[in-house]
Amino acid sequence: MPIRIFIIALLAAALLAVGESRAQQTPAQPNPLDVVPEKMPFDIPYGPGISAEEANAVIQAAAAEAKKHDWKLNIAVVDSGGNLVAFERMDGAQLASIAISEHKARAAAIFRRETKVFENGIQSGLNYVLSLDGVIGSRGGIPLVAGGKLIGAIGCSGGTGSQDEVAAKAGAALVNK
């Protein structure tokens, strides 16, 4: 019995020594947050909010793209301040995605970037993104920029993230030229 204890202790010490040497060999990864960009990223000035008429046209373009593929989506358009201007729930779209489509649109407007940026950041290990108020780490939110100014954003939800993004981009193409 004492020999077993001795062997187990010896193995444990060997494993500990191997773990320590590996830890010492692994170089520290640079923190991507330490990079200081020359210019402010996503520096799009806020403009006047999108009109209801234009918001509805954006929704119809997104819905037309979704119908081509038989996707059932919720589609929201917000103004430059993130306030809901227009919304459509396509027949059969899942109820949980109503709020998600609005959240995607609002995040894209107030942060002035596609929500895919947050998704990419989270997937690459920049988990601090999750601590920011109003963030949604799922693609399908696209800013609407006219005349170089942000006038609102579209958010689609109900399909996969990639389906939501395709439909949102189709709607945004009416404004983003």
Domain-located, residue 157 = yes
pLDDT tens by residue, 20-76: 655 566 677 787 778 898 999 899 999 999 999 999 999 999 999 999 999 999 999
Interhelix angle 161-172/52-69, nearest 10 degrees: 140
8 lies in the same domain as 72: no
Please give the pLDDT value at position 142. Answer: 98
pLDDT at 163: 98
Residues 10 and 87 in one domain: no
Within this chain, do residues 84 and 164 fall inside the same structural domain, yes or no?
yes
DSSP state of 46: B
| Domain with 8 in it | 2-34
136 or 9: which carries more pLDDT confidence? 136
Residue 75 is predicted with a pLDDT of: 98
Bridge partners, residue 145, by sequence: 150
Instruction: Please indicate, yes or no, whether residues 68 and 134 belong to a single structural domain of this protein.
Output: yes
Is residue 42 one of the residues assigned to a domain?
A: no
Residue 111 domain-assigned (yes or no): yes
